[in-house]
Amino acid sequence: MTSSCTCCGACCATYRVVFSLDETDQMLDAGVPAELTLKLNSEFCCMCGTDTKPQRCVALVGQVGKSVSCSIYARRPSPCRAFAPEAAGGHGDIACGNARRQHGLAPLAGSYDAVPFA
């Protein structure tokens, strides 16, 4: 996680993280640990904890908005790798900003166009 993210973690406790079963370590060396996933159908699974309310990925360690880390960072699934690509530079996007707002955090710079959740 980037410095902006290690004191946040809001997205990991806001969105359902869905990806192909092909990304798990049952199909791929050093893939996402299958024991931390929930099979949704014959093609897809999600990170455990992201399919229930309140949402919080089981791989997230720490306190949202304070200090967090991903316990499977090197093996995290593709949605996590693709999320808010500019957050590394301290620039969020709509999804990042909305996640942060849900957890009482101000959007990062660049998230000015974030809209409230319906």
> What are the structure tokens assigned to 60, written together?
């997230």
Round to whole Å and give the CA distance between 92 and 47: 22
CB of 42 to ligand SF4, least distance (A): 22
Nearer Cβ to ligand SF4, position 29 or 65?
Answer: 65
CB of 107 to ligand SF4, least distance (A): 8
Round to whole Å and give the CA distance between 92 and 16: 19
Amino acid code (one letter) for 71: S
| Residues paired with 110 in a beta bridge | none
CB of 73 to ligand SF4, least distance (A): 6
Nearer Cβ to ligand SF4, position 31 or 92?
Answer: 92
108 contacts 36 by C-beta, under 8 angstroms: no
Using CB under 6 A, list all residues that contact ligand SF4. Answer: 4-5, 8-12, 17, 47, 57, 59-60, 70, 72, 76, 80, 83-84, 87, 92, 96, 99-100, 108
